[in-house]
C-alpha cells in the first residue's frame, strides 16, 4: 500500500533520489539505459542543436545521450548523483568529448546565470525530482527567451487502465526514485512554455517526447 502523504510531504526527497540512483548507477546502462536509449536519441534529434549553441542537459545520469550530440556545440550536463556522474566522466574521457562539461548540481537550484543556454534537455527527470515545479522554473530561467526545452518523460495520460497500473506500481517506483502520476498539463501550468509537438516513444504511452518554446519575456 502506498504511504499516506500529507499535502506538505513531498512524494520524493532529494536525498532519497540521490541514494536510489547512486545505488544502481553501475547497472543503469545495461537495464534502463539500454531500454530507453532509442527515445533519448530521438529527443536529442528534436532538440536540433545548432553549431556554436550552448546546450544544457539536466539529469545526465551515466551520459548515454552525450554521444548523440553534435560536437560543434557546447554541452553542459548536470546530475545530483556523483556515482552516475562518474560513469559520465568515463564516457567523456573514452570518447574524447571535449565539448562536454559535467557538474554535480541539484536541478532545483542550478548555479547558472539567467539565459545561459540556447536549449535545455531533460530526459526522465521530471518524475524523479521532489519538486518538478521548481525544476521547470529553473529550466525556464536558464534558457534564453525563444530557446527550446525538450522533455522525455512518462506522463499520466488519463487512461483508466494505465492509471490503475500506475497506482499499483507507485510504492515500488517511489523506492526506485521516481513517480508515476504526473500529467503533462500539471507540469506546464503556470509556465512560459508553449508546446510545439509531442510524440509517444514507448509502448502504452509510458514515455513521450515534448518539445517546447520558451516564451518568457526577455
Q: What is the mean pLDDT of each run of 10 residues along the chain (218 residues)?
A: 37 53 55 66 93 96 91 96 90 96 96 98 86 93 98 70 40 43 83 94 72 94
Note the pLDDT of residue 156. 65
Distance separating alpha carbons of residues 123 and 210, to the nearest angstrom: 10
Note the pLDDT of residue 40. 84
Note the pLDDT of residue 126. 85
pTM for the model = 0.77
Could you tell me where the DSSP H helices lie in the chain? Answer: 14-23, 25-28, 32-47, 82-94, 132-142, 160-176, 184-188
Q: Strands of 100-104's sheet, edge to edge?
A: 100-104, 74-79, 54-58, 117-123, 143-153, 208-214, 193-200
List the domains of the chain with CATH numbers: 14-214 (3.40.50.150)
Which residues is 216 bridged to in the sheet? Answer: none
What confidence tens digit (pLDDT) does each residue in 96-124 have? 999 999 999 999 999 999 999 999 999 98
Note the pLDDT of residue 93. 96
What confidence tens digit (pLDDT) does each residue in 79-98 have? 988 888 999 999 999 999 99
Amino acid at each position: 500500500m502506498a504511504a499516506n502523504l500529507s499535502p506538505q510531504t513531498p512524494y520524493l526527497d532529494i536525498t532519497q533520489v540521490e541514494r536510489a540512483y547512486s545505488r544502481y548507477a553501475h547497472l543503469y546502462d545495461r537495464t534502463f539505459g539500454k531500454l530507453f536509449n532509442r527515445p533519448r536519441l530521438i529527443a536529442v534529434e528534436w532538440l536540433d542543436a545548432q553549431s556554436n549553441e550552448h546546450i544544457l542537459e539536466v539529469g545526465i545520469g551515466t551520459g548515454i545521450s552525450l554521444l548523440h550530440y553534435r560536437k560543434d556545440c557546447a554541452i553542459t550536463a548536470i546530475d545530483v548523483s556523483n556515482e552516475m556522474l562518474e560513469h559520465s566522466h568515463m564516457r567523456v574521457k573514452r570518447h574524447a568529448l571535449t565539448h562536454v562539461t559535467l557538474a554535480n548540481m541539484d536541478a532545483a537550484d542550478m548555479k547558472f546565470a539567467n539565459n545561459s543556454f540556447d536549449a535545455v534537455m531533460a530526459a526522465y527527470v521530471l518524475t524523479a525530482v521532489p519538486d518538478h515545479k521548481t525544476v521547470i522554473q529553473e529550466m525556464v530561467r536558464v534558457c534564453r527567451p525563444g530557446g527550446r526545452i525538450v522533455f522525455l518523460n512518462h506522463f499520466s495520460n488519463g487512461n483508466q487502465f494505465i492509471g490503475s497500473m500506475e497506482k499499483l506500481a507507485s510504492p515500488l517506483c517511489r523506492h526506485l526514485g521516481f513517480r508515476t502520476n504526473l500529467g503533462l498539463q500539471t507540469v506546464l501550468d503556470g509556465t512560459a512554455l508553449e508546446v510545439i509537438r509531442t510524440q509517444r516513444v514507448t509502448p502504452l504511452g509510458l514515455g513521450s517526447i515534448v518539445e517546447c518554446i520558451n516564451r518568457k519575456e526577455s
